[in-house]
Amino acid sequence: MHTPHPAATPPDESWTMLEFSGPFALNNGPMFIRLAALDAAEPARFGLRVEEKHCNPLHICHGGMLATFMDIVLARGLQYDMGKPQGQLLTMSMSLDYLAAAPLGAWLESRVSVLRKSRTTGFVQAVIYDGETPVLRGNGIFRIPAK
């Protein structure tokens, strides 16, 4: 288990570290999850503290890191909506709109909505916020592997 840098901690105890099955996501974290006190249609909420390793030379979160976080937010949100927090979903398509910069030290938090799902495909959208400021909006289509 990865121990986050002390500055990478979430804002309160309602968050737990999101466990991953592979090294890529682990090396780009730590990322956190909250399952309590959510909006009715929200399957889970995900968080990330912007660390130096996530930043570009301007000390703002790199667009590639935001894209990585969004891909994980969309896929994991769909998994939790399906009641299967583990397993693999394959990203078929992802569209992103960068709305604002996220500075070093910012706490980023998602709002996920599952739009539609079939036996083989899920459609998900999310917005990632820094406080009340929307930073990134994304839409994804994911292949749901056969059981």
Q: Which domains, and CATH codes, for the chain?
A: 6-143 (3.10.129.10)
Torsion of CA 126, 54, 3, 131, to 10 degrees: -50
pLDDT category at 34 given cuts 50, 70, 90 is very high
- Please give the pLDDT value at position 2: 43
pTM of structure: 0.90
Confidence (pLDDT) at 107:
96
Supply the pLDDT for residue 55: 95
Q: Token pair 């820094």 is at which residue?
A: 130
How far apart, in Å, do the first and last CA atoms of the chain sit?
A: 28
- Nearest 10 degrees: Cα torsion 103, 13, 36, 143: 50
Distance CA 50, CA 59 (A): 9
Token digits of residue 137:
């909006």
